[in-house]
Homo-oligomer: A and B are copies of this chain.
Amino acid sequence: MERVETGLRSIYKNAPPRLSGILEHSLGAGGKKVRPALVFLSGSFYRHNPDRLLSMALAVEVLHTATLVHDDAIDNSAVRRGRETINKAWGLDKAILIGDYLLAEAEELTMATENLPVIGLFAHTIKAIASAEICQSQDAFRPDLTREQYIERIAGKTASLLSLATESGARLSEAPLEAVRGLREYGYNLGIAFQIVDDVLDFIGVEEDIGKPVGSDLAEGTITLPSMLLMEHYPVDNPVRRLCENAGDRNDNIRQAIGMFRDSPFVDECYGVAMKYRDRSLHSLEVLPEGDLRTSLKELAAYVLSRKR
């Protein structure tokens, strides 16, 4: 993972001088580095070229950063990973353009794998993410989202990137087809679990841990599993529904929804759904050889459920 940090540093150090500072701000902001770790772990079960794995690990992290930069521009967010966002510090125009630059940088890194199916998967993943985000934006403040639509959306916006990480790792090694499939499904299901926990943390987390204000989803009108459960169980006089109908004070509604959720059994219910996907991800690992790598992937799945940030 040290090579990932060095690789990220070399991206902003080798960039045109006038871009360096903005790139350092976005790429050097820390973060959990779950996605590059997934590439390395998934790519190490079978014979592999470590340089190509490193390129791909950097590519998924840079792509992830690009999507965060554009998300923050869209939501007009001020804080990310405890730092000012690009749009806040440099303006919307720079955020759009730096996001584009990072997308292309990620593509160049993917290209360095010289593996056409992986390059194709990469492009396909960006389309899936953008497409899911467009649906999310079209569905903002619409209280009638179904459970299936919710899963479909988080599959596109989050699980697609985690399964890109695991599948590309597998494909860059000499993994048999069955192992490629197992790792892809591990990444996909882990991604769903990961996003459900993210959505829960947006309600019950602490700003210092999650690196952004609590209640950001509701502020943008994004309906997630916690909001859906609140609306299911309290169909009358519900703050989420009021928020969607633009009735009453916006911030009061958000605060009320957060308060209602925090002290409710719905937290456990959400974790229950996340655990179901985590269990599926663990099951997908059965086709892989036993050993330290498989254990690490299992631990990563456990971490995703227990994380506070």
Contacts and interface: CB of A to CB of B under 8 A. Distances in A.
A94 B138 CA distance: 9
Nearest to A126: B104
A151 to B, nearest CB: 16
Q: Which of A70, A101, A127 has the most CB of B within 10 A?
A: A127
A299 to B, nearest CB: 32
Nearest to A137: B93
A19 B114 CA distance: 31
Given A15-B131, A103-B103, A107-B122, 10 more contacts: A16-B131, A22-B134, A70-B100, A74-B97, A100-B126, A101-B130, A104-B130, A108-B120, A108-B127, A114-B116
Given A70-B96, A74-B97, A96-B74, A18 B130 contact: no
A34 interface: no
Chain A contact residues: helix, strand, loop or mixed = helix
Nearest to A135: B18
B119 A111 contact: yes
B101 A100 contact: no
A116 B111 contact: yes
Interface residues of A, number: 41
A105 interface: yes
7 contacts: A19-B131, A70-B96, A91-B137, A96-B99, A103-B104, A104-B126, A108-B120
Contact of A19 (B73, B93, B101, B134): B134
Nearest to A15: B131
B74 A130 contact: no
Contacts of A84: none
A287 to B, nearest CB: 29
B19 A94 contact: no
A29 interface: no
A92 interface: yes
A111 B92 CA distance: 30
B97 A130 contact: yes
A174 interface: no
B107 A126 contact: yes
A206 interface: no
A16 B127 CA distance: 10
A3 interface: no
Contacts of A103: 100, 103-104, 126
